[in-house]
Structure 1
Amino acid sequence: MDSGRLLIGKGQQCLNIRLRASSSIKLLVGNTAPPELASKSKCEFFLQRIPGMNPLVLTDENGKKCRGVVEIPLCRGYCKTSESGTYTFPYRVQNSSACALIVTGTQLIPLTDCEDGASEKIRSVTLPLGHRCGCKRFPFD
């Protein structure tokens, strides 16, 4: 890295843009993404058992336990994100989003394998309810 220039990755090109006679800005332009990635988002829904907690075990204040297999709704994938420069402060505009669950409510899942005398508080868990994923924008204020 030299003064005013940052090199990122391989295959980058450096462009010099003159703003005034006394100063210049050096921009890096990377290789463009393939059109199928640049214009589309891929966000998938699936259910997964909680890693390391299969079965899920909850213990009450008296040491009594409840167990159950719980699948949580998860999303994975990528969403279109961009950043562009402007001539006014803050000198950039970000459009960022993440693959996230579209929550439609909550669901109560009973833990069916409970010891006698286990508290009602540990006999179930509440999880977000959703059956699809989508790209949700990040709020940048």
Structure 2
Amino acid sequence: MGPGDVGARVVRRVEDAWNTRAPERVALVHTPDARRRNRPECVTGREVMVGFLTRKWARELDCRPVRELWAHDGSRIAVRFAYEGHDDAGRRYRAHGNEDWECDDRGLVRVRDTSINDDRSSGPADDSTGRRGVAGPSPRVTEPGL
């Protein structure tokens, strides 16, 4: 198995954990002292990450990202992603961007730096808007990539 296969497995494991929307499960694909930057918020450690994700997902409803390995070199992985969802007022949004990860020898994410481009639309949050779907298992079964 080549190094790209290892990177793709790490990306898939993180995507699958993320799409459970269980903050504790997502934290477990990171090292105990992982550092994460997401928009203006920076968090360090699994426990703090659980709180961050709990707050994030209280605002971002029915969100299920699709991630794709962009590049992989040793312990560093670059990932492209896209997701859609809505807020509690029914306003939908889309986001896409890049994440740079640094992993440990076990494939756990140690550093995660996210750059996000947001599209906050005022349209209704329903399936007539071309959304990819709602929270649940990885969309890879029916959607091969970005």
TM-score normalized by the length of structure 2? 0.25
Structure with the larger RCO, 1 or 2 (CA within 8 Å, 6+ apart): 2
Q: Which has the higher helix share?
A: 2
Q: Which has the higher strand share?
A: 1
| Max Rg structure | 1
